Every structure is written in C-alpha cells, then in structure tokens.
Amino acid sequence: MEPVTVIGAGLAGSECAWQLARRGIPVTLREMKPEKMTPAHVTPWFAELCCSNSLRGAGLENAVGLLKEELRRLDSLILRCADATAVPAGGALAVDREGFARMVTEEIRNHPLITVVPGEVTELPEGQVVVASGPLTSDTLANRLLALLGDGQQTTLNFFDAAAPLVSFDSVDMDSAYFASRYDKGTPDYINCPLSKEEYLSFWQELTTAQEAEVHGFEDGQVFEGCMPVEVMARRGEDTLRFGPLKPRGLPDPKTGKEPYAVVQLRRDNADGTIYNLVGFQTHLRWPEQKRVFTMIPALKDAQFLRYGVMHRNTYLDSPRLLDRYYRLKSQSRIAFAGQMTGVEGYVESCASGFLVGVETARRLKGQAPIDFPQETAIGALGLYVSNQTVGVFQPMNINFGIIPPLDHRVKGKRNKNAELSQRSLAIIEARREEILS
C-alpha cells in the first residue's frame, strides 16, 4: 500500500496515524519533540494535553459527550487511552495527563506499521501527507504552508490561547474549601474554594488591574472565547466571573448550607490527586502577579504553584475556502489537514478530525468509496462546518448541537431534546459501524 506521512503527533496526528495503520496503511509519523519544543509543551510524549486535563462533558445531553461516544464506538485510540487513564471529575472525562500521553505514545510506537521519525519538518514531503502540526506549527513549516496555500488572499488567522495554573493538593487549605460537584452530579471530585462578597470584590479588583506578560501582537479581541484569559473576562464587568467560571450555583458550602457569593473550582490533574488545575483560570498575567492575585483566594493563600498560566499563539486555516468535508486540500487531494489548524477547537474535536482523515485516506488509497458521515452525526457536522463556504467569518468552533440538524418532532426540555439528537446520531453510527471499522 502507498505510505502516508503524518506531520505531528498530537491528538489529531496520533489518531490519524493509528486509524491508517489499523487499516493496513504504512505510516511515517514525523514529530519534532523532543528535539524542538513549543512554548506550550514540556514532555516528549505524544498527545500531550497542554491546557487542561479535561475532555469535557461525558453525558449524551452534551454535544462533546456525543462526539466522544461516536469515537469510542468506532475504536478511537485517543478515547481508549482516555478511558483507561481517567481520573474522577464529576460529570466530565478528565485524565491523568502524563499517564494518558505515555499510553498513546506506547501504542503508536509499538504498532508495526507506524515508523516514528523525530525532528522538525521544514518541507512538505512528496506523496500522501496529513498535516497535523497543530496550532503551534513551527515558523518554518508555517511559511511553507503559506507559500503553498497563498493566492493573494488571507489563508491563515491567528488567535491567542491561554493555559491555567497548576497547584499542589497539599498546599490547598481544605479548612477553607470542600469537595463537591455542581448539583451533586456525579461524584464530588472538585475542590471548591468559596469567596464571600468582600473577598470576591477585592480579588476581582486586583485581577482587573494586575500586570500582564508581554505577548507579541496580543489584543483582547484576538482571544478565542473558549479560552478567554480570566483577567480579560474580569474586565468585562464585576459579575462576569460570577456567571462564568466562578459561578456558585449548585455548590452549597456544607458549613453553612448556603451557596457562597463566588466559588473557584479546582480539578484533579493526575491520577494520584496530588496536582490540581484552576478551572477557567487561563491567564497571561506575569508570574509574580499570578501568585499575588490568586493567593487572595482564601483556600489558596499558601498555594504552591507547580506551573503558572501561559499564553501562546494559535494558528488556523481559512478552511471553508481551502478544505473539503474530509479535511482534504481542494487544490491538492494528496494533502489533508487535521486538528486545531483546521479550525476545530478542542482536544476531542481535534481527535475527531484526525479520525476522519485517517479513515477516509485509507479508504481512498484502497479504492473504497468514502463513508458518508451525515450532518446528523457529530463527526460529520464538524467536517461539514469546517468546509462550509457559506460561513461568513470563519472562527474556531467547538462541537455543539447548533451545527447538527434539529429533530423532525418537538421534544420538551433542552436536555431531553439533546439526548434524542444523540440517540439519532448513535443509531446512524451503529448502522455504519461495520463498514467504518472494516
């Protein structure tokens, strides 16, 4: 079989390589780590989660829960490794980040049809190529892609992404915090750090005036809404955080039986429960300012920061003009793209794009017709959104029920309606499952 070169061993590239190899296609997987690192990555492992250990909601009333279930039923490597390394997180799927990345790396390296070649890619190779180099693609490769795609129009857009700080569990003052999940959903896996009105207003005031680190070209308007830095969000108004990441609804303090004025949640970051992530606290404040302001939260007054928040550039394509529904380059079908570079936002979405590229590339090389993933499925809806030329201003997109066609009948209640949308999608997946896996 004709081999395929996959550039990048993040979630999209790893999933793509795996799907190709399990269908008998030889793969050369190019990964520049550890020879060259990005500003956001610190380990040599594949599929490194740099911003959060959460793959988001697990229930089928959530669109991302549906997307995960579709991938799970279709033998996704990423979902299998995520389930195997899951840590308690209430109604979300969160993983031990290092354990997850190690497992993906071992699976990839042990596959007989996958050859891993380390080092930076500076030129697109001949033959079949999948570019899954991620939103932090090296400048050299990015310039080569611009030369390939450029025709006098804008082919790439930039936005800035932010990662949240990590603290050690033993430095959290549990006398000032409590374990709970919102509305007692799932198991009580989150550490909740309550703030009174006076504490919150003092914290909010300092957050809005804290010094930011310099990020070349950064403006608030260039931040993707799904990764909005907490200080940028705070500047939108006094109560913005209380209706966002610090909302207290459904989290009564067991000491008082009442909901606090605001709540900062911490989510487990590893299987041992020794490291916790500040939920929703993506930031690009200077590191001394992060320590000064975030330790104003009573439960974090003596917090040991194992990693401060960081800010980095993300790059994505003008995909509706450039790509088809299978993420192939319209002008050169031998080249496909996968992951956040295509404008799918989020780890699960990146995995889904890599999955679809891997499946369809293998089928094309074997002379098989493409699988029709209709818009009623989450996998299909993402591909169709990314390639939809009627989209006016193309921006990164998380999976959501808004890009999936509505039901042909009325259902009372949003959760019930979403659950039925999920069941419709999974019925389609099950009907095609044998063909997809063959």
Distance between CA atoms of residues 132 and 429, nearest Å: 25
Burial of residue 217 (CB within 10 Å: 0-12, 13-18, 19+) is: exposed
Query: In angstroms, what CA-CA distances link 407 with 60, 196, 249, 400?
Result: 15, 44, 30, 15
The answer to whether 10 is a known ligand-binding residue is: yes
Structure token digits, residue 380 = 């299909």
Q: Going by C-beta distance under 8 Å and a sequence separation of 6 or more, which residues neighbour residue 280?
A: 164, 230, 244, 245, 246, 265
b/e burial code for range 132-167 (CB count within 10 A of at least 16 → b): bbbbbbbeebeebbeeebeeeeebbbebbbbbbbbb
Q: Going by C-beta distance under 8 Å and a sequence separation of 6 or more, which residues neighbour residue 20?
A: 4, 6, 27, 113, 358, 361, 362
Cβ–Cβ under 8 Å, residues 348 and 71: yes
The answer to whether 13 is a known ligand-binding residue is: yes
Query: In angstroms, what CA-CA distances link 99 with 41, 89, 269?
Result: 15, 16, 11
Distance between CA atoms of residues 1 and 23, nearest Å: 10
Distance between CA atoms of residues 320 and 292, nearest Å: 44
Q: In the block, which residue shows the tokens 């030329």?
A: 389
Pinpoint the alpha helices (H) of 325-406. 347-365, 378-386
The answer to whether 11 is a known ligand-binding residue is: yes
* Three-state SS at 418: helix
Cβ–Cβ under 8 Å, residues 78 and 47: yes
Distance between CA atoms of residues 132 and 62, nearest Å: 26
The answer to whether 12 is a known ligand-binding residue is: yes
Cis peptide before 26 (omega within 30 of 0): no
Distance between CA atoms of residues 312 and 218, nearest Å: 10
Sequence ranges of the binding site = 8-13
Sequence ranges of the binding site for FAD = 8-13
